[in-house]
Copies of this chain bind each other. A is one copy, B any other.
Amino acid sequence: MPVSLLDRLFAAGLLIDTGVDGLYGRSGKFEEVITRFEALIDRFGGADNPEAIRFPPGMNRAHFEGSGYMKSFPQLAGTVHSFCGCELDHVSLLQCLEEGKDWTGQQQATDIVLTPAACYPLYPTIAKRGALKEGGGLFDLQSYCFRHEPSKEPTRMQLFRMREYVRMGTPSEVMAFRQDWMERGTKLMEEVGLPFEIDVANDPFFGRAGRMYKNNQRSQNLKFELLIPVNADAGPTACMSFNYHQDHFGKTWGLATADGETAHTACVGFGLERIALALFKHHGLETEDWPEHVRRALWG
């Protein structure tokens, strides 16, 4: 029986089984690849002098609700719930646990939702500052993100890290940013010796009504993905995405340009675990044996 990519990663100790599909520990070596790849991203993006902000892996539920995420991707979101009862409630909770019954029914939603994409907490934060400066804004983000899609496909994790640059400004400013990054993404992946193609794409909008959004997103070229073959058992994996949101977040959060127009936004995202997996797939499970030019690009 052929051994799956996931099992080979477990056997090599790069990923660590936790008993839940899509939820894995990472070895020190795996983490080092992500650290080095992020330094390479900095080399491509740092000269633009973005404002770095790091949000934790959860966001304000009110902001999450305002974003419209539950309309488009309800199946992927993760709300955080806590026990808010008294000592008597605690006794019955423990009894449920002991008897192997469901004890989670009494958990109550907190003010926190797991971050679905690194940039979601950013828009309301920047809107609160008032209008953008002349020339717009540029931000550098990274966080763990959650998507509830349990899978044995290692490129589809439930908890994974996304690095992002987000541009806010006029339509031409944000379109130029996206175009730049499609070219930089190409150069970046060439430096680390990964095969790829860039193609138009769509997000996994929920339900029948979602089909219209998918078609609309594609016909307007709002989303492109940089795809790398990672797992022979699956299609190529989206390792970067280049997204033009038009005025969606600008309208939602009241983001304005210096001229008082509704700001447009765009983002470029790196799926850090996916890129690490692509590197291990194409260059081998031992980083010491990777081609010299790849090692130089990552370790300098």
Contacts and interface: CB of A to CB of B under 8 A. Distances in A.
Interface of A: 16-20, 23-28, 30-31, 51-63, 65, 70-71, 74-85, 87, 90, 93-94, 97, 102-104, 107-112, 114, 121, 124-125, 128, 140, 144, 146, 148, 150, 157-160, 206-209
20 contacts: A18-B60, A19-B124, A20-B60, A23-B111, A25-B54, A31-B54, A56-B144, A70-B97, A71-B97, A74-B85, A74-B93, A78-B81, A79-B104, A80-B81, A81-B107, A90-B207, A104-B109, A112-B158, A112-B159, A144-B144
A144 to B, nearest CB: 5
Contact of A75 (B57, B82, B94, B112): B82
A75 B79 contact: no
Given A71-B97, A81-B81, 18 more contacts: A18-B63, A18-B121, A20-B61, A23-B56, A23-B59, A25-B56, A26-B53, A27-B52, A57-B144, A58-B159, A74-B90, A75-B82, A77-B83, A80-B146, A82-B148, A87-B207, A110-B148, A144-B144
Contacts of A110: 78, 148
Given A52-B28, A81-B78, A97-B70, A112 B23 contact: yes
A85 to B, nearest CB: 8
Given A27-B53, A144-B144, A74 B79 contact: no
B77 A82 contact: yes
Given A70-B103, A93-B70, A75 B81 contact: no
A97 B56 contact: no
A158 to B, nearest CB: 7
Contacts of A53: 16, 25-28
Nearest to A87: B207
Contacts of A59: 18, 23
A58 B23 contact: yes
Contacts of A26: 53-55
Closest 8 CB pairs of A and B: A28-B52, A104-B109, A56-B159, A82-B148, A74-B83, A78-B80, A87-B207, A26-B54
A269 to B, nearest CB: 18
Given A74-B83, A109-B107, A60 B19 contact: yes
Nearest to A209: B87
Nearest to A50: B28
A70 B94 contact: yes
Given A81-B81, A121-B25, A159-B56, A111 B20 contact: yes
